[in-house]
Structure 1
Amino acid sequence: MKDRILSVDIFRGATILLMVLVNTPGTWSNVYAPFLHADWHGYTPTDLVFPFFLFIVGTSIAFSYKNRTVDAKAYKKIAIRALKLIALGLFLGAFIIHFPFFKNFNEIRFPGVLQRIGVVFFFAALLFINLDWKKLIWATAILLIGYWLLMTFIPVEGVASTLERAPNNLANWVDVKVFGSHNYKADYDPEGLLSTIPSIASSLLGVFTGLILTSKQEKKTKILIGLGGSLLIIGHIWDIIFPINKALWTSSFVLVTAGWANLILALIYYLTDVKKIEFGSIFRYAGANAIVIYFLSSFISKVMGQIQIGDTSLHGWLFHRIYVHDFMALETSSLLYGLSVVLFYSLVGYFLYKKKIFIKV
């Protein structure tokens, strides 16, 4: 397409390949700190990756639905796409490689990355096609402020709420009560139910960026930089009373991650769409089939982790046979394994793109 904004495609592809990198180290026992999530409060570069993807989902919503007719057909398409994403996520959580090919019901994790993408896409798209930009600002503010009030002022079974990892943390308590044994951890889920509320705001902030990019505004780069810087400042100020936390997806976390997303996207936009400098094609190829690449990487990684070779898995066997050497730190070996996986899926993205195969979920 002539009017396609290359920077968005590059940003999307880079984000999905980063998701693959941080999800597939050689060994979780030896990973460089920037490629790990923060223990609880605070954030690392890795904590930016998933919110970046939800942000770009919102940007894509602004592109795809800006001029579409709001009718039953539009609602049906939105609902079907959301259900497909949720179904793929549940499949990943339940699949095992041996008969009967699915875990016992009590062992299946209900929340997950694809499930959250599906839910967030559904609500962000519905809000976008029904509200103008001013009402969307109010909706975003209500989601963020409302979540802050819920998390800090609602007691849990008569005990004052906390933002620490504890039974009287409202988000954790809701996850345990609703999902029981179906959480990622026994006491909480990083893609839990209550924390999905502010994650919708992550996507809505991406919607605003999409509206800026498709508008007739001049100096879009400066607008994105100003927006990104403002969100960063407000988010870090809010961090004082509502700590930045990915596991809880706090409102300050939403603002800070959207701030970084705008700043990075502004740089890519300036280089590719303004200055017409050609770079990042490999990311663009991956971005064209982002969900497919994420699903394949997760599925194949899961299969490799379950195939046994001696006393280890196929994943472990390949890692130790090819990447582990006496002259190299295990963290470096682990990173090289992850980069090899990224290279493989970059080639998959390239192949699909060149063959004009675009699988829309």
Structure 2
Amino acid sequence: MRNRILSVDIFRGATILLMVLVNTPGTWSNVYAPLLHADWHGYTPTDLVFPFFLFIVGTSIAFSYKNRTVDAKAYRKIAIRAFKLVALGLFLGAFLIHYPFFKNFSDIRFPGVLQRIGVVFFFTAILFINLNWKKLIWVTGILLIGYWLLMTFVPVEGVASTLDRAPNNLANWIDVKVFGSHNYKADYDPEGLLSTIPAMASALLGVFTGLILTSDQEKKATILMGLGGSFLILGHLWDIVFPINKALWTSSFVLVTAGWANLILALIYYLTDVKKLEFGSIFRYAGANAIVIYFLSSFISKVMGQIKIGETSLHGWLFQNIFVHDFLALKTSSLLYGLSVVLFYSLLGYILYQRKIFIKV
């Protein structure tokens, strides 16, 4: 199990460090295209990051709850962990460094990355400890197909639903009706309510990968490669009628991202478990405290953005005075700033790992 978990830690760590990179450029006005989300339909490397993390949440569930103990204590532990994740996410969205230290209630965003991780973890873990793998396949299929049918065939206030960013987009309409001003944007939220349904499927597909890695199957890397390729093909075929879209977390998006996740994890598994190569330690260190690193990077970034230095922020001052130079393109300077932040949290992950400090949320 040690090497298999090592493979997952490397993948998790690489994912979380990439998440830090795309979330902390020097300036959002100058970012290389692969480090930005797709405008709407389609996907970029950045759009893979969050679904990769949910995928690895599912894989970790398969490791952590493999004994499938079903009792009040198990449910309580799952619920407490989910609550902590949601609470941390709400705190990040509401915190201010100055009085009154929290935003006005009407300005607080309710959905968010950590909130979605918490909700998806809760339901996926509950499903995993109660259902066998065959029933989980049925559940996954129902979630993906059901979401597609809802998004394409259910009208919105008598108007045919659309997959464009519009008032008659069912997912967007529900978020506006339920959350009102508490969304990321006035008309939608990329971590919204209805799109959490297929996000659970992202984690469930990770569960199946975890079951393969903990099984007695031979040639596990080959099996994962086959799964990854199959998911990619199915996802791109589904894209024809249900476009790949991260903001809506469409079913085609779930399959495509799970496909890439399986392919990359298969490669890591092959190199570390089959060939016994030593590599990726820096990712393993970050992966061992992934949620902590994500939370700290988001919290510190918010604080640096709120500390004013003249007419700019501490973040802006550091970027302008250390990374901006006449001989560098602004996009390069912005990237270097992000890479320096990644280096900082990589070193933090290394220190925590070496001191055997593993903070579990």
* TM-score interval, smaller chain: over 0.9
Aligned to 2:229: 229
Alpha-carbon distance, 1:22 to partner: 0.2
1:159 aligned to 2:159?
Answer: yes
Aligned to 1:140: 140
Aligned to 1:309: 309
**C-alpha distance in 2 between matches for 1:179 and 1:311:** 33
Match of 1:93, as an amino acid?
A: G
Alpha-carbon distance, 1:285 to partner: 0.4
Alpha-carbon distance, 1:244 to partner: 0.1
Aligned to 2:57: 57
SS of alignment partner, residue 190 of structure 2: coil
Alpha-carbon distance, 1:4 to partner: 4.7
Task: Give 1:1-361 correspondences, 5 Å limit.
Answer: 2=2, 4-361=4-361
**C-alpha distance in 1 between matches for 2:87 and 2:358:** 20
**C-alpha distance in 1 between matches for 2:199 and 2:68:** 24
Q: TM-score, normalization: structure 1?
A: 0.99
SS of alignment partner, residue 20 of structure 2: helix
Q: Which runs of 5+ in 1 are unaligned?
A: none
**C-alpha distance in 2 between matches for 1:246 and 1:3:** 32
Q: Once superposed, which parts of structure 1, at least 4 consecutive aligned residues long, lie more than 4 Å away?
A: 1-4
8 Å Cα contact 1:5-1:273 kept in structure 2: no
**C-alpha distance in 2 between matches for 1:310 and 1:5:** 48
Residue by residue over 1:250-282, the C-alpha shift from the partner in whole angstroms, topping out at 9 and shown as x without a partner, is 000000000000000000100011100000001
8 Å Cα contact 1:16-1:286 kept in structure 2: yes
SS of alignment partner, residue 93 of structure 2: helix
Match of 1:15, as an amino acid?
A: T
Alpha-carbon distance, 1:37 to partner: 0.1
> How many correspondences in the alignment?
361
Residue by residue over 1:165-222, the C-alpha shift from the partner in whole angstroms, topping out at 9 and shown as x without a partner, is 0000000000000000000000000000000000000000000000000000000011
Alpha-carbon distance, 1:2 to partner: 4.2
**C-alpha distance in 2 between matches for 1:303 and 1:3:** 38
Match of 1:345, as an amino acid?
A: Y
Q: Which runs of 5+ in 2 are unaligned?
A: none
Match of 1:349, as an amino acid?
A: G
Match of 1:39, as an amino acid?
A: D
Q: 1:173 to 1:281 in 2, by over 3 A?
A: same
8 Å Cα contact 2:3-2:273 kept in structure 1: no
8 Å Cα contact 2:52-2:258 kept in structure 1: yes
SS of alignment partner, residue 155 of structure 2: coil
8 Å Cα contact 1:306-1:313 kept in structure 2: yes
Alpha-carbon distance, 1:70 to partner: 1.1
**C-alpha distance in 2 between matches for 1:138 and 1:14:** 31
Q: 1:112 to 1:2 in 2, by over 3 A?
A: closer
**C-alpha distance in 2 between matches for 1:192 and 1:241:** 22
8 Å Cα contact 2:4-2:213 kept in structure 1: no
Alpha-carbon distance, 1:344 to partner: 0.1
Match of 2:145, as an amino acid?
A: I
Alpha-carbon distance, 1:312 to partner: 0.2
**C-alpha distance in 2 between matches for 1:197 and 1:232:** 20
8 Å Cα contact 1:89-1:115 kept in structure 2: yes
Match of 2:17, as an amino acid?
A: L
**C-alpha distance in 1 between matches for 2:178 and 2:160:** 20
**C-alpha distance in 1 between matches for 2:142 and 2:318:** 49
**C-alpha distance in 1 between matches for 2:305 and 2:164:** 32
Alpha-carbon distance, 1:5 to partner: 2.8
**C-alpha distance in 2 between matches for 1:253 and 1:325:** 39
**C-alpha distance in 1 between matches for 2:222 and 2:353:** 32
Match of 1:19, as an amino acid?
A: M
Q: In angstroms, what is the RMSD of aligned CA positions? A: 0.7
Residue by residue over 1:108-134, the C-alpha shift from the partner in whole angstroms, topping out at 9 and shown as x without a partner, is 000000000000000000110000000
Q: TM-score, normalization: structure 2?
A: 0.99
Q: 1:308 to 1:147 in 2, by over 3 A?
A: same
Match of 2:185, as an amino acid?
A: K
**C-alpha distance in 2 between matches for 1:290 and 1:343:** 14
SS of alignment partner, residue 63 of structure 2: helix
**C-alpha distance in 1 between matches for 2:141 and 2:54:** 17
**C-alpha distance in 1 between matches for 2:121 and 2:129:** 12
